[in-house]
Structures are given as structure tokens and as C-alpha cells.
Structure 1
Amino acid sequence: MEAGGRRERRREAAGYYRAQRVPERMEEALNALFPLRPGDLYGELANYLSKYSKAPIICKLVGRKVLDGVGQPTLEVEIYCTVKNYEQRICSTVMSCHSRIPENALPETIEADEKERNDSVNTAVEWVNESLNTMLRDLEPTDQCQVDKMLGEYFTNKVEEKKEIQKQVEEEEEAEDTPAITPPTPSPASPSGKKKAAKAGKKLSVAERPIPPAEPAEPVLCGSLAIGGASLAVAKAGATISHIPLYSHIALLKHDQEPPEEITLPLPMVTLLNCEKISPSKLKFVKEVMLIPPVQLSLKQGIERVLHIQKEITRLLESPGKMPDPQPAESKKGRAQNPGKKGLPQFLKRISHLGCLTTGYDDVEQLLLVMQTACSNIGLQLGTDVYLAINCAAHELMDYDKGKYEILTGTFKSPDEMVAMYGELIDKFPFIIALIDPLRKEDREQWSNICCALGSKCYLIAEDAATCISKLKIDQNINTPMCSGVVLKYINQTKVSDLIELTGILDGQRHITILGSPDGESSDDSLVDLAVGLGARFIKLGGLSRGERVTKYNRLLAIEEELAKNGNLRETKLEFVAFAEDSQPENQLSDELPPPEQN
């Protein structure tokens, strides 16, 4: 009995202990399955179930008028999406306006341009809040191709409507003017016109040929900002919904959803000086002087180096006694007039809308000598530690009465003489590795000549020819003169798909892509993500002043840090294209050469 009692007591004790251990074992099992706090556990379950919820869709677009960096009106587009049955504001984008008004425009021209821009922004706001809001509703923000296709069709319809209206207006005007045109009065004017033409012909030498006239400016449809603004806003919304940076989203769109293993950052073309082309007796064929840091530096190191040079340049310009004396021998090259007859350039203590110093020179060699002195003072050497790029903006130099470029007040050169002048300039100063718009886009023969002569020494870049992206692509070819690359600007009716398609064509034809910042810049930094995602070789953002431009440099630095942390950053290369003399713009398949004196 005692033995049985002991066994019974042992069974009861074992059962008691087993009962006590069951909750502990259950807790251990649950902890093994869900090693999180209860709040975290519910979050994990919510995230798991959200995978089966409906994809976010666009529910609303909001357009409004805002101001850009120079106080001009522009367009902001907001995107709202339905996410898990709730309406959420996803993102917004602010468009930049590109001004085609030259520096020396008349006040009435500027006033007319401001009125036209204001009307265009008002129309764009109306398009976004009404037509585009209805048209893009219920589309997925990640479906960029479908969105851009619908935006393109909408814009085409608006263009056709505008043409029909213009046609009706012209027909009505012709009907009203028909009685006034009947008398044949222009007979005495025609002979005088012939005499004038003959006199003009006598003034031209036999060897000179008439220059091709300027191509008419591409008309900008009132309200076209709405197309570009909506497309970019949808791209930003797609990136936000996908929980990836915008540059990664753009790279996926360009590479058919295949993420690139490595990403190359574009080299910045940092504007250091904005030369006063409209000032009397000033050098006119240099609009911007830009610094390009070497590829062996990180972007952060390159920006710091540019800042050091900028401080030294400012110190030199503010202290005329410390300026280097111009060399008399250099003034006999014909490219630069005698600098000894004029005083040193006056430093204008103001920051240009490009975010850089503003100054004026009457001699290009004096300008470059100051650059060399500034670098030398801080222990740097042009051509090794930093490079130069010059924006010539040649389309602003042409005197159509004389048929020549006015490179200095009263000094004119034909297109062929311009090619020779640039050749001498690059030979003497090989640290200049890029010329932007050295000629008008209409001087295609001279573009071919300068590419064959200098293509293996520097980049010959077309910017003015690329202001209207809709004109660039014709049957899978780039409709520009022969050049090393083009500057693309995200303005007006440009869509994200347009940039992706164009950069793909440029890559295939061995052109380089430069994404450029318009004059009327905004604080939106999407341009940097576009440049990184599209694989642009350079990015042209202006100077290191003014918030709307510094914001973009900060974004570029942030992307570099992120890519370096993830191990996805690939080193940039500087390579030139040696053009064959008989090559065409679409068949530039010659050897590439590195820039001179690189470490």
C-alpha cells in the first residue's frame, strides 16, 4: 500500500509540473515563431496582409501657381493616391521655366514674355485641376508608360486645337484684308531692294558665303508646363509607392525593370563666373566659366575643391592690386584684343541668377590667366587638379546684318574664323575640356569642322539645339549638328518617357548626355535624381550659391553617400570621341581618348 501510495503521489506531482510547464512551452513556441513584441507582431501581420491589398491608384491631381527661384510664376503639381482605402498626399513637384529672352532684351520684350509666362502657368493650373485630374484618375502611379502616353495624346490634341484656331483667325484676316492688297504699289520698292542687295553683296568678299538664317523658335503651347509637371509628379509618386529613391525608379524604367548593378554619378559642371556679355567693350563669346572636378576625387571632395577656388577668385577680383598683369605677347594672337589699353575688369558684387559671381572681361586670355593664378595660389593646377568648361552661347553673338559673330564690341568673325579661333584657344589652354554652343546650331558645316579638329581634345556640346526636346528625335536619330553630346532640360511638355528614350538613343550613338538646369530654377531637386537614374555624364546646375541651386548639389552629395554605403557606386570616366572627317552625326564610332594630364 505504501509503495502504491508513493507511485500515486509521484503521478500527481508529475501531472502538476506538466500542467505548470504547458504555458511556458507555449510561450517559448510563440516566441520562436514571432520573436517580436506584441505591437511589432501586429505590424508584421499587417504588412504581410497588405501584400494582398489593392495596389495604390491615383485619386487626385492638384495644380497651383507658385514662384520659382527668380520670383517668376511657375507650376506645382501634387499627387494624391488611394492607399489601403485611404486618400493620401504622396508627393509634389515644381516645374522650372526656361527663359529664352536674351540678356539685352528690350523692356517691352521682357514685359511681353512675363505676360505670356503668367498666362501659360494659369492655363497649366487649369489643365491639371480639370482635364488631367479626370484623365489620370484610377491609374497606378508606377505605370509611367501609360501615364506618359495619355499625356502625349492630350498634348497633341491641344496642339491640333491651337492650329485650327490659328487657321480660322488667318482666314478671317485674309478675308478682311483682300481689298487693301489689290493695288500693285510695291513696284518702286523692288528695285531699291535689289540695289540694297547688290550693295550688301559688294561688301562681302567673294570667298565668304551667306550664313544660313536662324531657325524659327519652336512655339511653346500655352499650358504645356502641365504635361511635364504631371509626368514628373507621377514618377515621384511611383518611387514613393515603391519605397525606393527616385533615381532608382528612373533607372528601372530605363532598363526595363532590371536594376543596374552599379550607378555612375554625373560630374558637376559648376558655374564659377557669369561674364557680362551685354556690357560695352566686354568679351562676348564667353557667357559662363565652369569648373569640372577630376574623376579621381569623390563628389564631396570635388565640391570642396571648387569652393576653395571660388573663394580665391573672389579675393582676387575684390583686390585689383593682386590681379595678375596681362601678358602683352598674348594679345597679338588676334583672339584677344590688347588688354593693356583697358583697366582690369571691375568686380560686380552681386550673385547672378545662375548662383555664381558676376564679372566682365575684354580679353579671354586675361580671364584664363586669372583662373590659373587663383588655382596656383592654393596649390592647384588647371588640367590636372581641375578642368574648365566654357559656355559660349554663340546664338546670342550673331549679327545678322553683317553675317558674323561679334566676339567683342566691334570685332566680328565668320563661322569659319570662329572654328580657327577655338582651335587656337584649345591648343594654348588644353585644360578647357568642354565648349558649350561654340557655334549656332544652323552652322552645321562648321560644327562638323570643329568636331573633326577638336573632338579628340574636348567635348563639343550643343545646348541651344536641345532646348526643345520634341524636335530632337527624328526617326531614332538626334536632330542636332555633329557634336559630342547635348544638354537636355526638363521643361514645358517634356515627359519622363521622352528623357528615357532620348538618353537611350544618345547612348547608342555614343553621344554624352548632360542634364541642365534652366534659368528660372526652382527648389525641386528631382533633376538630380533624373540625371543619376538616366546615367548622364555631366550635370549643369549653375553655381554654388542661391538656395534653389545649392539644394540640388546637396541632393547629389546625399545620393553619392547612399550609393557608396550600398556599394553600388561606379567611378566616372572622362572620354573624348575622335571624329572621323567623313563621319555623320549618327555614325561616330571612333576611338575615345582620356583628357590630358590626368592623375
Structure 2
Amino acid sequence: MEADRDERLRREAAEYYRGHRVPQRMEEALNTLFPLRPADLYGDLANYFSKFSKAPVVCKLAGRKVLDGVGQPTLEVEIYCTVKNREKRICSAIISSHYQIPENALSETTEADEKERNDSVTTAVEWVNESLSTMIRDWKPTDQCEIDKMLGEYFSKKEEEKKGIEEEEEDDDTVSVTSCAPSAVAQSGQKKEAKTGKKSSIQTTIPPAEPSESVLCGSLAIGGTSLAVAKAGASINGIPLYLHTALLKRSQDSPKEMTLPLPMVTLLSCEKFSPSKLKLVKEVMLIPPVQLSLKQGIERALDIQKEMMRLLEPAGKAPSPHLADSKKGRARHKEKQAPVKGKYEILTGTFRSPDEMVDTYVELVNKFPSIIALVDPLRKEDRQQWNNLCRALGSKCYLIAEDAATNTSKLKTDQNINIPMCSGVVLKYVNQTKVSDLVELTARLDGQRRVTILGSPDGESSDDSLVDLAVGLGARFVKLGGLSRGERVTKYNRLLAIEEELAKNRTLRYDANFEFADFDEESQPEKQQPEVLPPPQQDSVPSQLSVPALQGHKVPAQLLESSTLT
């Protein structure tokens, strides 16, 4: 009877919305059965009928130039959807621009790179406001895979256009060179030959550095649009971005439990550039013990950071809040350097060859078992030494490739993941990276028993979406930098908020172990199975491997030299 009554009331309400007057008996029944005001009733009825409305679709995108955490231009993408026949702003996303500026870059080169970055952002704004806005119009923001596919095709088209222009320019250069006078050509050839002969006398012990990967002008538009669509899809579904991302990775299979990535907290930055040398230690990082909650781990890291500031600051001087500020201005201040001599300088005047570096790291980790991760211990060109290091230390600590890895989009297209043998990879959401790329790539890394670390790029912003992506993708670590500066603290606060939310919903699961891979077990020739890791050991790592588990909060001097290295 109650169901029949509700159905009758809905029919009569529908008649009212069609322009008919509400029957008197309906008002009497409502007053008798429901102690609601008419406004409340009509609101409930509106919510009921809203279920039958058309699903929200994208109506336009809006791109604009904004500044990132180091004052460099980057892109913000706003997404608008048609919701109940009205245009509504859903959300915005800011994507970080990541340009690989060599540490030995000249001042002229740095200025040219900054101009190129500015032009790239300007082009990205044009792409968003014109081509991409038209391309994804009328698509549902929940159609992430389909939209990302279109974005990828658009980017590929732009790459082909660029290649065509470059080939035309090369043809023009060839014509101009052949038209030169023979004497000039001969002189040029003689100079080149003499210069080559001079270089041949230099003995090199390591392969030359691979060229920096080019960044297509305007590529920020691809990553920014994909991230904005993901955030809009989560908003439309009424769920947080981390859960929306987890559903994308699991093909809409809702996870019963979720784990949080452990933060790699930068404790000390050693950004001192020395001419013509390869540096050993760039950052010292702390990883909270797995036995602690995220909140407890960050509080302990803060205590250690304060103690470090007190110990390192000169007497009578106030502590500097930027002690762990490892990325401030990195992209803007580069010193002129001579070519690398072929060895790593681990201390002033102390050099090691790549093979000797393997022995150095083995000795270091054996002496200080608190070291549980080495980030970029070697250049990616030293592949054989990476292999040797993994077989020597792979069962004791993580060997992570960050700069030694290629960009996320290239990793996705390369089926073999063309990086040195390693325990895991740092992924950064920059330029043309799409959300679907991260979903696909992390799934592949999971299948190869590699750990995933999501890291902030140099020019990071206050957009905290990276943390949601890390949680939703099931990353083992998240590399956010030090506990300072607003754009970083915002991300740490978001991580704490997610921990509280998962704990409240009773869906939070703590991973109480560090699992390292033994590269010697079940090893096969590299030609048959290149750089694929065997299943990790199931034995848990002793608690002393967690650096912050030190008694008290005073940090021993050797920790400054021997914690996580990059």
C-alpha cells in the first residue's frame, strides 16, 4: 500500500510539473502523511526527477597561463559541463611543465629554454581554447579512455607536423651548404678533422650522455586536459579523484581496501654544482617506518627536520625554513661546466669509475643498513653497472630510476620499458602525459614486480591531484620534496586528509613490510628476458631499515652522507 501511495504521489507531482494545478486531495494527503513544507517536498521531487535527466557532458574548455612554484609559466585548464541544461564550471587542473635543462647549460642556453617554455605554454593555451575544446565537446567527462585516445591522436598529429617542418628545414640547409665555394668547404672540413683528432686523444671510461628528450611545443595541453577530465569525472560521479583513478585502473571494480604511498621526505638538499664533475649526493630523504600511521610518520619527520636545522645553522642565527628546499630555482640557476671527465666525484678530489661506484654503494649500504633506497645512483648510460648494482644490493634496498628513466609517455610506448635494470621508477605527470598512460604503465610495472613512485617535477604547483593519482594507482612511494613551501605542504595535507577519510570508511590497509627483489634468483640471460624482475622475497625487512626509527630525534652525522642518494 505504501508503494502504491508513493507512486500515485509521483504521478500527481508529474502532472504539476507539466503545468497542471496540484489536486486538493494531494495537498491534504501531504499535510496528513508528511510533515514537510512545500519547498522541501518540491526539492525532493526535483531530486527524484533529476535521475532521469541527461548525463552531464563537456561543453567547453578554458586554458590560461599561470605561474608554478618557481615562478615559471605553466598551464591551467578549466572544464565546463552542461548539467541539467545549464553551463557549469566543474573544476580546473594545473599541470607542471618539465624541461630537462642540463646542469652545464650556458646562460644563453638557459634564456633560450625559458623562452621556449613560455612559447610552449602560449601554444598550449591556444590548443585548449580552440582545437581541444571543440574536439571533446559533448563527450561525457567519465569517458576518460576515449578522450585520452583522442588526445593522443591529436598529439601524434602535431608531432608529425613538426617532423615535416624539420625535414623541410634540413633540405633547405643541405641546398645552401652545397652551394658554398669549394675552398670554404675544404677549410671547414679541415677544421672539423683537426678538432675530431684532438678529441680522440681523450680517454673516456663511460658512454657519453644521451641527448635530452625534446618537448613538443604545446604538449602541456594534452596532460592538462586529461587531468581536468579525470577531476571532472570524479566530481560528476560524486567520488574523490583517488577512488575515480582506482576504478579506472581496476576497470570499474571498486576496491575493498586501499593503501597509502609512503612519503619520501627530503631532509637535506646538497645542491652545490661543481664544474666538470658528476655529483654523488643531491638529496637526503627520510622514509617513515611502515609501522607508523602517515600522520605519525610526518610528525616524526618534522621533528627530525627541526633538529637538523638546529644542528646545521651557525650559532646565534635563526633557522632557515628552506633547509630542505631542494628544487627552488633549480631550473633557473645553472653554472657553466666543462665536459665530464668520465668519473664520479664522491668527495672533493676523490673520483670513482662506474665499476668502482658499485663497490662504493655496496660498502655504504652494508655499513648503514638504514639506507632502504638509492635514487639514480648511476647515470642511465651505465647499464652494465646498474645490472651489477641490482644483483649486489637488490635484496637489501630499492634501486630507483628517476632521471635515469625516460619520460612517462615514452615508457608507455616502449613495450620493454627501455630503462636500466632497477627496482622501480619515478613517474611524473608532466607535458603530454595522460591519466590513461599512468594507469597502463603502473599496471605493467606491477606485473614486472617494480615499485611505482609518483614524484613532483621541478616546477610544481599547488594542484594536489598528484597525491590522489598516487593513492588511486597504488604507488608504493610518493616523492614530494621537503616539508616546506605551500605547493608541497598542500600535497602532504591532502595525503593526510585521504588517510583520515579511508580510516573513517574502514577501507584503509597498512602495508607493514618492505619487499625487496633478489635479482640473482631465477635470473635468465638478458637477451631472453631483458631487465624483468623475478618475484620479490616475502620476508619482511628488519625494523632498523626505517631511518626515522632512530632513538630520539637526533640524526647521526653519517646519515647526512648516506641516506637516500640521488
Query: What's the TM-score once normalised by structure 1's chain length?
Result: 0.79
Tell me the equivalent position of 2:108.
Answer: 108
Retained in 1: the 8 A contact 2:268–2:324?
A: no
Retained in 2: the 8 A contact 1:517–1:542?
A: yes
Q: Deviations over 1:355-381 (max 9, x none)?
A: 6899xxxxxxxxxxxxxxxxxxxxxxx
CA distance, structure 2, for counterparts of residue 214 and residue 283 of structure 1: 12
Tell me the equivalent position of 2:291.
Answer: 296
CA distance, structure 2, for counterparts of residue 181 and residue 307 of structure 1: 69
SS at match of 1:577: coil
Tell me the equivalent position of 1:162.
Answer: 162
Which amino acid counterpart does residue 568 of structure 1 have in structure 2? T
SS at match of 1:177: helix
* Corresponding position: 1:236 with 2:231: yes
Tell me the equivalent position of 2:264.
Answer: 269
Aligned-pair identity (%): 69
Report deviation, 1:231: 0.3
CA distance, structure 1, for counterparts of residue 160 and residue 81 of structure 2: 31
Tell me the equivalent position of 2:541.
Answer: 595
Greater Cα offset, 187-196 or 428-437: 187-196
CA distance, structure 1, for counterparts of residue 348 and residue 363 of structure 2: 21
Tell me the equivalent position of 1:492.
Answer: 431
Retained in 2: the 8 A contact 1:77–1:230?
A: yes
Tell me the equivalent position of 1:85.
Answer: 85
Which structure has the larger Rg over C-alpha atoms? 1
Tell me the equivalent position of 2:469.
Answer: 530
CA distance, structure 2, for counterparts of residue 310 and residue 265 of structure 1: 22
Q: What is the aligned counterpart of 2:531 among 569, 582, 585? A: 585
Tell me the equivalent position of 2:202.
Answer: 200
Q: What is the aligned counterpart of 2:361 among 396, 414, 422? A: 422
Q: What is the aligned counterpart of 2:504 among 558, 561, 565? A: 565
SS at match of 2:93: strand
Retained in 1: the 8 A contact 2:66–2:75?
A: yes
SS at match of 2:297: helix
Report deviation, 1:512: 0.3
CA distance, structure 1, for counterparts of residue 321 and residue 29 of structure 2: 74
Q: Deviations over 1:97-120 (max 9, x none)?
A: 224224564322221111111000
SS at match of 1:43: helix
Alignment RMSD, CA only? 3.0
Retained in 2: the 8 A contact 1:98–1:520?
A: yes
Structure with greater contact order relative to length (CA < 8 Å, sep ≥ 6)? 2
Structure 1 residues 97 and 165, CA gap change in structure 2 (3 angstroms): same
Q: What is the aligned counterpart of 1:351 among 322, 330, 333? A: 322
Question: What are the ranges of 5 or more consecutive residues in structure 1 without an aligned counterpart?
Answer: 1-21, 205-209, 322-345, 359-395
Report deviation, 1:350: 6.2
Q: What is the aligned counterpart of 1:473 among 383, 392, 412? A: 412
Tell me the equivalent position of 2:178.
Answer: 178
Structure 1 residues 122 and 283, CA gap change in structure 2 (3 angstroms): closer
Report deviation, 1:24: 12
CA distance, structure 1, for counterparts of residue 51 and residue 295 of structure 2: 39
CA distance, structure 2, for counterparts of residue 156 and residue 494 of structure 1: 13
User: How many residue pairs end up in the alignment?
Assistant: 507
CA distance, structure 2, for counterparts of residue 486 and residue 70 of structure 1: 25
Report deviation, 1:43: 2.3
Tell me the equivalent position of 1:520.
Answer: 459
Which amino acid counterpart does residue 200 of structure 1 have in structure 2? I
CA distance, structure 1, for counterparts of residue 426 and residue 60 of structure 2: 33
CA distance, structure 2, for counterparts of residue 225 and residue 460 of structure 1: 30
Structure 1 residues 518 and 401, CA gap change in structure 2 (3 angstroms): closer
CA distance, structure 2, for counterparts of residue 26 and residue 83 of structure 1: 33
Query: What's the TM-score once normalised by structure 2's chain length?
Result: 0.83
Tell me the equivalent position of 2:219.
Answer: 224
Retained in 2: the 8 A contact 1:350–1:357?
A: no
Tell me the equivalent position of 2:47.
Answer: 47
CA distance, structure 1, for counterparts of residue 371 and residue 467 of structure 2: 24
Retained in 2: the 8 A contact 1:60–1:137?
A: yes
Question: What are the ranges of 5 or more consecutive residues in structure 2 without an aligned counterpart?
Answer: 1-24, 330-334, 525-529, 550-566
Off by >6 Å, runs of 4+ in structure 1? 22-25, 280-283, 355-358
Report deviation, 1:91: 0.2
Structure 1 residues 84 and 352, CA gap change in structure 2 (3 angstroms): farther
Tell me the equivalent position of 2:563.
Answer: none
Report deviation, 1:73: 0.6
